[in-house]
Chain A
């Protein structure tokens, strides 16, 4: 068997395995959400079992996000395999989906989720990718926030054209300096990338940057950056799309 044949078979095997794993994770996280949702208010929050379950949901989500991102990236190396699909999407529907994806997790942690979006704003992007990236950013913010997360979408005019700015902000202590540096490096594209061994948020950032860059319009492309501050005074994840 020659090398290409071997790698083709391997790719096929990986694809079918991934398909299977995704089914399992779907079921796992869906069941957890349902259990958390069904728990009566008096048993919740105070109940240590409830808290453990909420933690399980958080971890399952991370597992799912990482798997999804790995799959997308793995296939992009050498051979871009993702069928990129830009459509006009109402910004409010992007917010709606991100909010729905985070609802149970946020509630179970007692985190308030605020959304700011112009209901008439329509933007062009790959919906599945952007919902994935923003909702991963929200999941990440769960780790840093005290009790509030804010999602704001707005159109901003620049000299060379308008962009959609998507901000995920929290009221925690802000991102550690190492992460801000990693974010800046990932953006500048100067460094070879992020050290995945020491930086658990690295994969997510790297993926977000790749996704942002895929969005191009009239010679401009999307970008991601991390800041501290914002309206809530904590960490800010900012994604802009041309």
Chain B
């Protein structure tokens, strides 16, 4: 062949790599093995099922995995991939190729957290395989430093690396821009994310970019515009499932649960095997009182979760509520027991959440005696452990406890929420509303005022120490503040800021850096995508003594914000 194709002859050495081929059909496995051999491959393992694949992946670090999506009974290919990623069975350089008999909806839906590096449609031939392998491999090289920065949560550095790579690699430009936009969203820089999406759209209409713009509108509260844009994306490509999920969110923000339900139902028809989507559908149905559909969604959610690392206790709790609404508290208790057995080890809040649901089930089915008993047990559980669950669970719990007639525990919970979120006006209104409903309006308002004052006093003292140059004292003070208010994001950010300032002046300190990382990881867990998080992570990374790469000039450090 006399062609420009030979230009590409250089290429990667595919012979020395480790391969895993996963397919339930022996003929296909042999064929793929032969194709790989013709590329020179020597080390090729095979698995006939998801279970076998996981066992092999646990033992060997493969460079390339060719995995069929349909693997008969048990795990499917996507679930094998998710588990391999979550359990760190893959190298950062590993290439995962998902194989299917026909083009899968999942390949275009865009938002899946664990995407393979490429999708291949059968029949697979050597030429196509080689081209796609080479492309995936080059892509990995381009993305490796970016992925690394991303894994370290240094999103701003990752975004800068995207810009550098865009200049060097035109083939990956679109994908790099997509990554950059996502990084900007994660860094609390929606304006820069918007610019990036616009830049893509100036070249060509991509649904993910349009969808990205719509998402920014939604976050800005421009719900009607967001709704129209998501509808436009779906009209353009009805397989862009992410737009359905986002549109359902818009409808929920608008309080239009019927519409949210309809759109989620359509999405689950197109792509039924998503645990979070079935869960969301179940929850919306519960809100609407559509018990039958809620039950169907939660059951499906549990069924697909069986082989998935993404399985969630929410489905069990939701289904227990369904049972309560169907006047079958016995079955509900069985489910709550199952949820605790299945998830107790990984979710320390499980006993609390199960007990809350138990209370709700009894309360909703009119069994006030048992509901009160659950409330008392919940109060005892709270007294026995100092940690508190996340905010929505706290609010749900307080509401329930008031409803069943418990008084002290919910007041304590609401004060805890107010102290740890003293500058979140929307949330404080919600807390006030719960007090109001419990006919404790005035008392509640006073409690919230006191909680706000406690938090600002703690913070202002820290800022004062910092501004007067008493860095060591400021660090110590913020540490105490942190133990008192472990989930107050303003305090956590300031604690990290003070640590960074200390290191900037007195030099890098491993223990302090670790402490700052821990604090920031906790804030990011509480509420991802905040600008201050990204900025502090970048400053922190720049402080670390690292020789391997030239770090861009350090951004100016903002002083810790003082409380209003």
Interface size of B as a range: 35 or more
Q: Please tell me if the beta carbons of B1 and A99 are within 8 angstroms of each other in the complex.
A: yes
Contacts of B238 in A (CB 8 A): 80
Nearest-neighbour CB distance to chain B for A9, whole angstroms, equals 15
Does A18 reach chain B (CB closer than 8 Å)?
yes
Does A30 reach chain B (CB closer than 8 Å)?
yes
Q: Please tell me if the beta carbons of B123 and A95 are within 8 angstroms of each other in the complex.
A: no
| Smallest Cβ-Cβ distance to A29: which chain B residue | B123
Q: Please tell me if the beta carbons of B28 and A23 are within 8 angstroms of each other in the complex.
A: yes
Nearest-neighbour CB distance to chain B for A26, whole angstroms, equals 4
A95-139: contact bitstring with B at CB < 8 Å (1 yes, 0 no)? Answer: 111011101000000001111110110101000100100000000
Most buried by A among B127, B173, B205, B237: B127
Contacts of A24 in B (CB 8 A): 27
Contacts of A220 in B (CB 8 A): none
Q: Please tell me if the beta carbons of B205 and A217 are within 8 angstroms of each other in the complex.
A: yes
The distance in angstroms between the C-alpha atoms of A18 and B101, with both chains bound, is: 8
The distance in angstroms between the C-alpha atoms of A31 and B38, with both chains bound, is: 13
Does A158 reach chain B (CB closer than 8 Å)?
no
Does A193 reach chain B (CB closer than 8 Å)?
no
The distance in angstroms between the C-alpha atoms of A34 and B32, with both chains bound, is: 12
Does B137 reach chain A (CB closer than 8 Å)?
no
Nearest-neighbour CB distance to chain B for A216, whole angstroms, equals 8
Does A27 reach chain B (CB closer than 8 Å)?
yes
Does B54 reach chain A (CB closer than 8 Å)?
no
Nearest-neighbour CB distance to chain A for B543, whole angstroms, equals 38
| Smallest Cβ-Cβ distance to B68: which chain A residue | A23
Contacts of B550 in A (CB 8 A): none
- Which of A23, A29, A82 is B103 in contact with, Cβ under 8 Å? A82
Does B391 reach chain A (CB closer than 8 Å)?
no
> Given A83-B105, A83-B239, are A97 and B122 neighbors across the interface (CB < 8 Å)?
no
Q: Please tell me if the beta carbons of B107 and A23 are within 8 angstroms of each other in the complex.
A: no
| Smallest Cβ-Cβ distance to B130: which chain A residue | A100
| Smallest Cβ-Cβ distance to A25: which chain B residue | B123
> Given A30-B123, A100-B126, are A84 and B239 neighbors across the interface (CB < 8 Å)?
yes
Tell which of B3-11, B87-95, B272-280, B289-297 binds the partner.
Answer: B3-11
Chain B residues 96-151 with CB under 8 Å of chain A are 101-105, 107-109, 121-128, 130-131, 135
Nearest-neighbour CB distance to chain A for B244, whole angstroms, equals 13
Contacts of A179 in B (CB 8 A): none
Chain A residues 157-189 with CB under 8 Å of chain B are none
Nearest-neighbour CB distance to chain B for A71, whole angstroms, equals 7
Does B70 reach chain A (CB closer than 8 Å)?
yes
> Given A80-B238, A90-B171, A93-B135, are A22 and B3 neighbors across the interface (CB < 8 Å)?
no
Contacts of B18 in A (CB 8 A): none
Most buried by A among B5, B135, B173: B5
Q: Please tell me if the beta carbons of B4 and A114 are within 8 angstroms of each other in the complex.
A: no
Q: Please tell me if the beta carbons of B8 and A101 are within 8 angstroms of each other in the complex.
A: no
Q: Please tell me if the beta carbons of B4 and A117 are within 8 angstroms of each other in the complex.
A: yes
Does B174 reach chain A (CB closer than 8 Å)?
yes
Contacts of B124 in A (CB 8 A): 26
Q: Please tell me if the beta carbons of B4 and A101 are within 8 angstroms of each other in the complex.
A: no
Does B2 reach chain A (CB closer than 8 Å)?
yes
Q: Please tell me if the beta carbons of B127 and A97 are within 8 angstroms of each other in the complex.
A: yes
Contacts of B135 in A (CB 8 A): 93
The distance in angstroms between the C-alpha atoms of A99 and B6, with both chains bound, is: 11
| Smallest Cβ-Cβ distance to B123: which chain A residue | A26
B145-175: contact bitstring with A at CB < 8 Å (1 yes, 0 no)? Answer: 0000000000000000000000000110111
Nearest-neighbour CB distance to chain A for B124, whole angstroms, equals 7
> Given A99-B1, A99-B5, A116-B4, are A22 and B122 neighbors across the interface (CB < 8 Å)?
yes
Chain B residues 16-38 with CB under 8 Å of chain A are 25, 27-28, 30-31, 34-35
Nearest-neighbour CB distance to chain B for A76, whole angstroms, equals 12
Q: Please tell me if the beta carbons of A23 and B239 are within 8 angstroms of each other in the complex.
A: no
Does B206 reach chain A (CB closer than 8 Å)?
yes
- Which of B3, B170, B173, B175 is A99 in contact with, Cβ under 8 Å? B3
Q: Please tell me if the beta carbons of A23 and B25 are within 8 angstroms of each other in the complex.
A: yes
Q: Please tell me if the beta carbons of B1 and A101 are within 8 angstroms of each other in the complex.
A: no
> Given A84-B108, A101-B128, are A22 and B103 neighbors across the interface (CB < 8 Å)?
no
Q: Could you list 24 A-B pairs, sorted by A, with CB under 8 Å?
A: A19-B101, A23-B122, A26-B27, A26-B124, A29-B125, A30-B34, A30-B125, A31-B31, A84-B239, A85-B107, A86-B206, A90-B171, A95-B3, A96-B131, A99-B3, A101-B127, A101-B128, A103-B127, A115-B1, A117-B3, A117-B4, A120-B170, A122-B171, A218-B205
- Given pairs A112-B1, A114-B3, A128-B103, 11 additional interface contacts (CB within 8 A): A19-B101, A26-B124, A27-B31, A30-B125, A86-B204, A92-B5, A96-B5, A96-B8, A100-B131, A119-B4, A131-B128
What are the 9 closest A-B residue pairs judged by CB atoms, nearest first?
A100-B127, A26-B123, A115-B3, A19-B101, A83-B239, A27-B27, A30-B31, A83-B108, A85-B108
